[in-house]
């Protein structure tokens, strides 16, 4: 029988714990605070930022939105980041991506204080993740790991196939699975024999960004766990990388889209804000 891993239910449980921790900090006179920087009018980015802002406020984490003009220069944006780096009342900083083309995104992400980098995108935090010493780890990979762990199945010794190698998801989830003692294969557009890798995998994480990339016709293990990180639109509808319906009855665990990884990503952002807060106040 196939079990659906509900990201919505898992997020609810984890958010209750986060809210309790945030409330305890508030009672100690510390208000965990996230600053979200949004540049320009990108509709999808605005919607993501609003969801993050609302989730924080619902869970006793203060959220400050800094909305800046589309035409801001890299120098002025760097100045805004510096102000947030130096503000003791701000514990986490997130610069919503993508940034307008004229801005040097790499320079901006490198300017965020590594201690406040709740996205885990700063090269120092990326390096720490690779050597197993990171405190701030990218939110989507953290959410994926929570989903896999929620099944109760061991990760140790399992063959994990990650399809996709982005800096935001594919690479960090591959690293996290390796640290959890999986044998990890990171597949990408140049990978040969993906079908044979799919057949052998105990855990499949698809972060390709292509609607229904896994059709359900592929051969997979009956015991496999599939996590769908896709966030694609098909005929105006949000769909994942995986055609879930065609895998029902063929796999052990599978995550849906929507209601899968998405709610966990925002939950992990709040957890990272608490992690940054503890680190800064100690």
**What are the distances in angstroms from CA 49 to CA 96, 102, 142, 219, 221?**
7, 21, 19, 39, 38
Of 96 and 175, the one with the shorter C-beta distance to ligand GUN is 96
Q: Where are the beta strands (DSSP E) in 120-221?
A: 159-163, 183-187, 203-206
Quick check: 94 binds ligand GUN (CB under 6 A)?
yes
Of 63 and 140, the one with the shorter C-beta distance to ligand GUN is 140
Say if residue 165 carries a ligand binding annotation: yes
In the shown chain, the binding pattern of residues 14 to 53 toward ligand GUN, with x for contact by CB under 6 A and - for none, equals: ----------------------------------------
Among 139, 144, 226, 276, binds ligand GUN (CB under 6 A): 139
Quick check: 208 binds ligand GUN (CB under 6 A)?
no
Give the strand pairing for 62-68 and 92-95: unpaired
- Which residues are designated catalytic? 52, 96, 119
CB of 173 to ligand GUN, least distance (A): 13
| 6-14, 76-84, 91-99, 154-162 -> range binding ligand GUN (CB under 6 A) | 91-99
CB of 270 to ligand GUN, least distance (A): 13
CB of 269 to ligand GUN, least distance (A): 8
Among 5, 18, 95, 148, binds ligand GUN (CB under 6 A): 95
Say if residue 15 carries a ligand binding annotation: no
Quick check: 80 binds ligand GUN (CB under 6 A)?
no
Of 96 and 225, the one with the shorter C-beta distance to ligand GUN is 96
Quick check: 97 binds ligand GUN (CB under 6 A)?
yes
Say if residue 262 carries a ligand binding annotation: no
Among 60, 63, 96, 255, binds ligand GUN (CB under 6 A): 96
Quick check: 119 binds ligand GUN (CB under 6 A)?
yes
Binding-site positions for NADP(+): 164-166
Q: Which residues bind ligand GUN (CB under 6 A)?
A: 94-97, 119, 139-140, 168
């Amino acid at each position: 029988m196939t079990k659906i891993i509900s990201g919505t239910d898992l997020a609810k449980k984890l958010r209750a714990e986060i809210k309790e921790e945030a409330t305890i900090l508030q009672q100690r006179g510390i208000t965990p605070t996230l600053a979200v920087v949004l540049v320009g009018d990108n509709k999808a980015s605005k919607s993501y930022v609003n969801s993050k802002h609302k989730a924080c406020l619902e869970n006793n984490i203060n959220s400050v939105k800094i909305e800046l003009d589309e035409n801001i220069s890299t120098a002025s944006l760097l100045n805004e980041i510096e102000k947030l780096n130096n503000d003791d009342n701000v514990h986490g900083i997130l610069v919503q991506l993508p940034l307008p083309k004229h801005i040097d995104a790499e320079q901006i992400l490198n300017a965020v204080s590594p201690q406040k980098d709740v996205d885990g995108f700063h090269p120092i935090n990326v390096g720490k993740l690779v050597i197993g010493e990171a405190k701030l780890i990218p939110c989507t990979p953290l959410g994926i790991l929570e989903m896999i762990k929620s099944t109760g199945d061991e990760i140790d010794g399992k063959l994990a196939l990650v399809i996709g190698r982005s800096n935001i998801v594919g690479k960090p989830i591959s690293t996290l699975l390796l640290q959890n003692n999986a044998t990890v294969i990171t597949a990408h557009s140049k990978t040969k024999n993906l079908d044979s890798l799919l057949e052998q995998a105990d855990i499949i994480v698809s972060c390709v960004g292509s609607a229904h990339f896994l059709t359900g016709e592929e051969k997979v293990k009956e015991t496999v766990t599939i996590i769908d990180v896709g966030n694609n639109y098909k005929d105006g509808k949000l769909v994942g990388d995986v055609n879930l319906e065609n895998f029902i009855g063929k796999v052990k665990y599978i995550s849906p889209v929507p209601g899968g990884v998405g709610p966990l990503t925002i939950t992990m952002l709040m957890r990272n804000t608490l992690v940054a807060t503890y680190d800064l106040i100690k």
